[in-house]
Amino acid sequence: MDALLVVNAGSSSLKFQVFGITDAGLERRVKGQIGGIGTRPRLQAKAADGTVLIDRNYEADVVSDLPAAIAAAIAAARDWLLTLQGFTLRAVGHRVVHGGPDYAEPVLIDATVLDRLAGYQDLAPLHQPNNLAPIRQAMAINPDVPQVACFDTAFHHGHPKEVNCYAMPRSFYDEGVRRYGFHGLSYEYISERLRDVAPEVAGGRVIVAHLGSGASMCALNNGHSIESTMGFTALDGLPMGTRPGQLDPGVVLYLILQRGMSAQAVSDLLYHEAGLKGLSGVSNDMRDLLASEDPHAKLAIDHFLYRSGLNAGMLAAALGGIDAFVFTAGVGENSAQIRARIADNLTWLGAELDPAANEAGATLISTPSSRVALYVIPTDEELMIARHTLALLRTRAA
């Protein structure tokens, strides 16, 4: 069977899926990941029917420190994938966080494109280097297999200039200093999924909350992004696992000019030591914070919820009101408590939570009388990447 491989490389995990190409489209065949990269690496994969295909632990020194760890994880996953029978690999689709001002849609990767994408590494240092590592490896191992980059920023292209610009001299905008927005593959999937799940609101005004270790919100109008909480980099907007979210630029000036911190030290602080981790001093994982009795853990959660409510209000203003609010990603899909508390901050917009539906993890978790429909919809970035990759392949073949 002809197949596509989708690779989604993060800061501590490597997710992959194999999709069979059929006359009807795409058929998910294998789903797996290597998690715990750099600490306790573990390769897991299941078939579409849930059958466990592999569950293997590795010694930490086999898949060790980043970025070598990502390369080792890729090699380990590839070695196992080569043992699968019955698949003919036609292309590999990759998630790439930052496409800069140049890439508004998926693109076939060559050396020129790869060099240009490497130029955006400073704008997404947690993700971009890891996104590009498997591309380089795949191009070296299978130079004849097309590699396709799908961008988290692409879905937000098309915002008017007054939305995307900063109040700085025009020359900065011209060189690419502007608001991009991220998590676009997730938002694009939710936008499409809403047509099936809730066609009555899919063409309306919807806020989607992608709440995970990385967190953001997006305002959709008729399925199109019109505003996002993230900007030039993935530091902006909501507080995240290790990133602070919205921050007065004067804080950065203070750290450099008054505290004497180097640019690299500030970068390390903002990307690795801030957010829920920094504020709580306990963990960057919402599950740990919810289970903790430490008052600083409670503070971190309360801050996250407060800022989530503020950002929802901003997006509601951009939309001129909202018809629906969607929770997705790890925290959004799995934490009834966080959903309930965010929903409580949306009552002024007309949202009314159904506690029983929320606890049960239903798709629709608002009451029949709620003026704002509340949904929980699992995201699927890998399927979105596979769809884009297949479309590009078919366009080339036409």
Nearest C-alpha neighbor of 85 from the set 34, 135, 47, 142? 47
Question: Residue 364 has which token pair?
Answer: 């629709």
The DSSP 8-state label assigned to residue 366 in this structure reads B
CA-CA distance, 382 to 14, in Å (whole number)?
Answer: 12
Residue 138 — φ and ψ, nearest 5°?
-65, -40
CA-CA distance, 192 to 128, in Å (whole number)?
Answer: 26
CA-CA distance, 37 to 126, in Å (whole number)?
Answer: 14
- DSSP string spanning 97-159? S--TTT-SS-EE--HHHHHHHHTTGGGSTTTHHHHHHHHHHHHHH-TTS-EEEEESSGGGTT-
The CA–CA distances, whole Å, from 139 to 39, 119, 151, 388 equal: 27, 19, 18, 19
Report whether 60 contacts 41 (CB < 8 A): yes
CA-CA distance, 215 to 200, in Å (whole number)?
Answer: 26
Check 79, 110, 152, 268 and give the catalytic one.
Answer: 152
| Cα-based angle 370, 373, 374 (whole degrees, multiple of 5) | 110
Catalytic (active site) residue 55: no
Residue 92 — φ and ψ, nearest 5°?
-125, 125
Length of the chain measured in residues: 398
| Cα-based angle 6, 11, 17 (whole degrees, multiple of 5) | 15
The set of residues, in sequence order, having a beta carbon less than 8 Å from that of 346 and lying 6+ positions away, is 309, 312, 325, 372, 374
Nearest C-alpha neighbor of 217 from the set 229, 227, 225, 205? 229
Catalytic residues: 152
